[in-house]
């Protein structure tokens, strides 16, 4: 660095009316909870701290430019948000990361600007970054570059939370709990008893809690997994097994057995996907797993070794593009085209485990791409794309806003922005992307039938972009009124 040049780092701090992306993501992921403390290392103007305190969180921070005299102290969660990318000295950058990590008792959040944002910044090269027109420094990172640097400096394996954002957990069990949550099916509702019974009525709330646990885990809980309901149930029943038997009688044995089998199947698939993906970073030993997960594994597979063996069989298949292609062809969900399977992000957990692992490999690199609507699984190459259609539900033919393509062989992430395009790609046959229970699916399907009858979906090569589709509508004398096709001459 030129000794005469002073780079005003504090000028990169901005005022925002909402939480920053890494803090907002940590809340959504359950990393930051009301009972946990947060320290914002390099807090800038302190916007995150103020908003979190207003929400009832215990949050403090320090910043060399705006709060240089604030005390630095340990916290459950430490946020190092968009700090390292404004430090021009690589050695100081590493020292800052180490200092923030030293304060984190549970998890450190590290966020930096991704490489595709470099195109939006004007300036000249300086070291490994850019001096902007404002005189500030910015270092832009590829996803793999940021991961590698964090892992090397801290000697801990980081977890990709989102593009440009990583979590580093102190405890292996906390990391595995978070990673397993990504592969677990959404909680399912439980059946309501068909008849009233005095024993059920006396323990209604606790029996419902027991039924919910079993419906979502496919096994009975250990008493410590739901201590208060268990204590109360064990005063009225000899065991939790007897309480479950009572539920089975009340709900009906046929329905109960079917629901239990489905729950075990979901848990089995979720665990296989989790364990397969865990192999890429080095599976934890059994004793390092959270206790509830180990109980799930033993209840479904009998042993951790057997579960890992089953997951390894899937891993062998993930390297086989032909096996992936066949899984795409067999899929009952998603839109299959010549080179890919397209599926709505909400339906990923409904896919075959092999395809879930395929997508999970990409997510392990990028983290959660929160704005993605459609996920494209390539049938011809090891590539997964996250496509953003912000108006998917409301627009009859939503246009593509942004795309994030992950090349699994090159460990490369490519971002493409379509927001300024006058002729972006757009979607047809929306019902084919979603699961059968997706809200609005019937409405999507009705529109598709109308467009098929009108001959609008023939010769699809010309209607895949906005201009081509609008021209097709015009040539055929139609327009769209919401999810309804009408003649231009017709009146609503």
CATH of the domain at 138: 3.40.50.150
Classify residue 387: in a domain, yes or no: yes
Q: What pLDDT does 45 receive?
A: 87
Strand (E) or helix (H) holding 160: strand 159-162
Structure tokens at 42: 């390099």
Classify residue 360: in a domain, yes or no: yes
Residues 24 and 164 in one domain: yes
**Cα separation values, 184 from 55, 298, 326, Å:** 28, 17, 24
Q: Which of 262, 293, 318 is where one domain is finished?
A: 318
Residues 191 and 155 in one domain: no
Using CA atoms, how far apart are residues 138 and 312, in angstroms rounded to an integer?
A: 42
Residues 79 and 220 in one domain: no
Residues 28 and 114 in one domain: yes
Q: What pLDDT does 250 receive?
A: 84
| Residues whose CB falls within 8 Å of the CB of residue 361, separated by 6 or more in sequence, listed in order | 277, 280, 318, 384, 408
Using CA atoms, how far apart are residues 181 and 167, in angstroms rounded to an integer?
A: 14
Contact 173, 289 (CB under 8 A): yes
Classify residue 1: in a domain, yes or no: no
Using CA atoms, how far apart are residues 105 and 77, in angstroms rounded to an integer?
A: 7
Classify residue 384: in a domain, yes or no: yes
Residues 193 and 165 in one domain: no
Classify residue 289: in a domain, yes or no: yes
Using CA atoms, how far apart are residues 270 and 180, in angstroms rounded to an integer?
A: 8
Residues 136 and 192 in one domain: no
Strand (E) or helix (H) holding 38: strand 37-41
Residues 206 and 239 in one domain: yes
Structural domains of the chain, count: 4
Residues 218 and 298 in one domain: yes
Residues 178 and 164 in one domain: no
Residues 378 and 343 in one domain: yes
Contact 346, 435 (CB under 8 A): yes
Q: What pLDDT does 13 receive?
A: 56
Contact 141, 114 (CB under 8 A): yes
Classify residue 2: in a domain, yes or no: no
pTM of the model: 0.85
Range of the structural domain that residue 17 is part of: 9-170
pLDDT by residue, tens only, the chain of 492 residues: 444 466 655 555 565 678 999 999 999 999 999 999 999 999 988 999 999 999 999 999 999 988 999 999 999 999 999 999 999 999 999 999 999 999 999 999 999 999 999 888 888 888 888 888 888 899 999 999 999 999 999 999 999 999 999 999 999 999 999 999 888 877 666 666 554 466 777 888 999 999 999 988 999 999 999 999 999 999 888 899 999 998 888 888 898 899 999 999 999 999 999 999 999 888 999 999 999 999 999 999 999 999 999 999 998 888 899 999 999 999 999 999 999 999 999 999 999 999 999 999 999 999 999 899 999 999 999 999 999 999 999 999 999 999 999 999 999 999 999 999 999 999 999 999 999 999 999 999 999 999 999 999 987 778 999 999 999 999 999 999 999 999 987 544
Classify residue 462: in a domain, yes or no: yes
Residues 158 and 183 in one domain: no
- Give burial (CB, 10 Å; 0-12/13-18/19+) of 317: middle
Residues 89 and 133 in one domain: yes
Using CA atoms, how far apart are residues 377 and 278, in angstroms rounded to an integer?
A: 20
Classify residue 464: in a domain, yes or no: yes
DSSP 163-200: TTEEEEESSHHHHHHHHHHHHSPPPPPPPPPSS--HHH
Q: Which of 146, 170, 194 is where one domain is finished?
A: 170
């Amino acid at each position: 660095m030129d000794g005469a040049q002073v780079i005003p780092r504090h000028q990169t701090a901005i005022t925002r009316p909402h939480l920053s992306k890494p803090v907002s993501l940590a809340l959504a992921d359950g990393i930051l909870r009301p009972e946990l403390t947060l320290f914002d290392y390099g807090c800038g103007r302190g916007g995150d701290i103020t908003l979190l305190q207003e929400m009832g969180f215990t949050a403090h921070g320090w910043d060399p430019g705006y709060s240089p005299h604030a005390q630095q102290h340990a916290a459950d969660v430490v946020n190092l948000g968009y700090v390292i990318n404004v430090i021009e000295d690589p050695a100081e950058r590493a020292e800052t990361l180490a200092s923030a990590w030293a304060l984190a008792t549970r998890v450190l959040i590290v966020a930096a600007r991704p490489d595709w944002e470099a195109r939006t910044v004007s300036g000249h090269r300086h070291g490994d970054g850019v001096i902007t027109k404002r005189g500030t420094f910015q270092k832009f990172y590829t996803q793999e570059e940021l991961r590698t640097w964090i892992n090397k400096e801290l000697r801990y394996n980081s977890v990709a939370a989102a593009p440009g954002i990583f979590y580093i957990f102190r405890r292996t069990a906390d990391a595995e709990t978070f990673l397993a949550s990504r592969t677990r099916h959404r909680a399912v509702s439980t059946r309501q008893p068909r008849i009233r019974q005095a024993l059920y009525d006396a323990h209604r709330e606790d029996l419902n809690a027991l039924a919910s646990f079993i419906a979502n885990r496919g096994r009975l809980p250990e008493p410590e997994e739901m201590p208060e309901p268990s204590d109360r149930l064990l005063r009225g029943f000899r065991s939790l097994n007897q309480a479950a038997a009572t539920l089975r009688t009340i709900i009906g044995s046929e329905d109960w057995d079917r629901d239990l089998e489905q729950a075990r199947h979901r848990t089995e698939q979720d665990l296989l996907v989790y364990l397969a993906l865990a192999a890429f970073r080095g599976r934890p030993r059994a004793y390092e797993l959270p206790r509830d997960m180990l109980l799930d594994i033993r209840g479904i597979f009998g042993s951790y070794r057997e579960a890992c063996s089953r997951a390894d069989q899937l891993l062998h298949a993930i390297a086989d593009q032909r096996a992936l292609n066949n899984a795409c062809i067999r899929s009952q969900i998603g839109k299959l085209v010549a080179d890919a399977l397209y599926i709505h992000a909400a339906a990923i957990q409904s896919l075959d485990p092999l395809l879930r692992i395929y997508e999970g490999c990409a997510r392990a690199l990028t983290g959660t791409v929160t704005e993605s609507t459609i996920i494209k699984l390539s049938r011809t190459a090891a590539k997964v794309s996250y496509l953003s259609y912000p108006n998917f539900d409301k627009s009859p033919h939503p246009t593509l806003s942004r795309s994030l393509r992950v090349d699994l062989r090159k460990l490369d992430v490519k971002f493409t922005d379509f927001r300024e395009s006058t002729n972006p790609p757009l979607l047809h046959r929306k019902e084919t992307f979603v699961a059968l229970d997706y809200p609005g699916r019937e409405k999507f399907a009705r529109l598709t039938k109308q467009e098929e009858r009108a001959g609008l979906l023939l010769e699809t090569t010309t209607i895949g972009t906005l201009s081509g589709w609008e021209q097709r509508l015009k040539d055929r004398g139609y327009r769209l009124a919401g999810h309804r096709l009408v003649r231009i001459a017709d009146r609503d």
